[in-house]
Amino acid sequence: MKSLKPTALALAVSGLPLAAQAELKALDDSAMGGITGQAGVTIELETQVNIGEVRYTDEGTLAVSDVFIGGANRDDMFSELGFAIPNEATDLIDNIKINIDVLADGDAAIDVFPLYGSPIDFAVRTGAWELRGDTDSTLLMDNLSIEGLATEMKIRVDTATDKLNLKTRFAIDDMDVDVPFMAVGIRDLELTGAGYDDSPNIVTLGAIADIDVYKAPNGAGNDSLAVDLNTFDADMNIGGVLVGGTSIGSVAFDDLSIQNTQMRIYGH
């Protein structure tokens, strides 16, 4: 996304004499009704997020350090497809177009997709994930790195059911992470759509996730945050599983499908 520059129209308006501007009149209600509600809002976005530390504190603390969310700054992901993804490699999450509409029945519709033809590349990296108590601490995870692509995200808020539905397609080209307190590490994890191994192409590239989020009673009948994973379909390949710093081999999940999974989240 290029820096915003004053348009010729904006410059012309700014140069109007005060006498001419005084002739501008507010639209009455009937005129406003003729121009409102005709179209939604489109947002073109690029961004990068850096956070020194994120802390969740209960009696003890879970702290995540050195958080980065941005672009992968690579153009060689999923090289078997035979073309560069993305078209321009940067460390920003960019090439994003967001359409926001409120439909006739009151439902909210938010669609996120590439501004240009290439999928949206992203990277998520963190440093240490630590559990901290009054006297002791444990290093849960370290050196988390995820680089991948997103091709689609659709969000719907349904006024009839009071549910937020999220449908997305995404792929992970490379994920690495260490789990020091278990002496385990993951290297070169790849996540794609189910069937991508058999037929690598841009259509089958993304794993599919369909999620509902809403309010529902827990087992005790009290309100809780409900998260339903309706569908998750993917292929997963792990290039190396490390135990004690030594690889014990690779792991593959072909046509992984998770369905009808429900969670209820609440305080205690």
Task: Tell me the percentage of the chain whose pLDDT exceeds 70.
Answer: 86
Type of residue found at 226: A
pLDDT of 35 higher than 70? no
Task: Domain count for the chain, please give it.
Answer: 1
Lowest mean pLDDT among 15-19, 68-72, 140-144, 257-261: 15-19
Residue 246: the pLDDT is 97
Q: Indicate the DSSP class of residue 195.
A: T
Confidence at 38, pLDDT banded by 50, 70, 90: low
95 lies in some domain: yes
Residue 129: the pLDDT is 98
pLDDT of 21 higher than 80? no
- Count CB neighbours of 119 within 10 A: 25
Lowest mean pLDDT among 12-16, 114-118, 239-243: 12-16
22 lies in some domain: no
Mean pLDDT of all residues in 20-49:
64
**Which has more confidence, 20 or 261?**
261
pLDDT of 228 higher than 60? yes
Distance CA 224, CA 267 (A): 8
Give the angle 28-30-35 at the CA atoms, nearest 5°: 95
pLDDT of 54 higher than 50? yes
Tell me the pTM: 0.82
Closest residue by Cα to residue 84 from 169, 136, 149: 149
Closest residue by Cα to residue 211 from 223, 225, 194: 225
2 lies in some domain: no
Q: Show the domain range for 240.
A: 32-265
Distance CA 117, CA 163 (A): 31
Confidence at 73, pLDDT banded by 50, 70, 90: very high
Element (H, E) at 32: helix 29-35
Residue 118: the pLDDT is 85
Residue 7: the pLDDT is 39
64 lies in some domain: yes
- Strands (E) located in the chain: 41-47, 49-57, 61-70, 93-102, 108-114, 120-126, 129-132, 137-158, 163-179, 184-192, 207-217, 223-243, 246-247, 251-265
Q: Is the peptide bond before 17 cis (omega within 30 degrees of 0)?
A: no
What digits encode the pLDDT tens for the residues 134-192? 999 999 999 999 999 998 999 999 999 999 999 999 999 999 999 999 999 999 999 99
230 lies in some domain: yes
Confidence at 116, pLDDT banded by 50, 70, 90: confident
Confidence at 88, pLDDT banded by 50, 70, 90: confident
As a whole number, the mean pLDDT across the chain is: 88
Confidence at 91, pLDDT banded by 50, 70, 90: very high
26 lies in some domain: no
15 lies in some domain: no
14 lies in some domain: no
pLDDT of 110 higher than 80? yes
Answer whether 208's CB lies under 8 Å from 233's CB.
yes
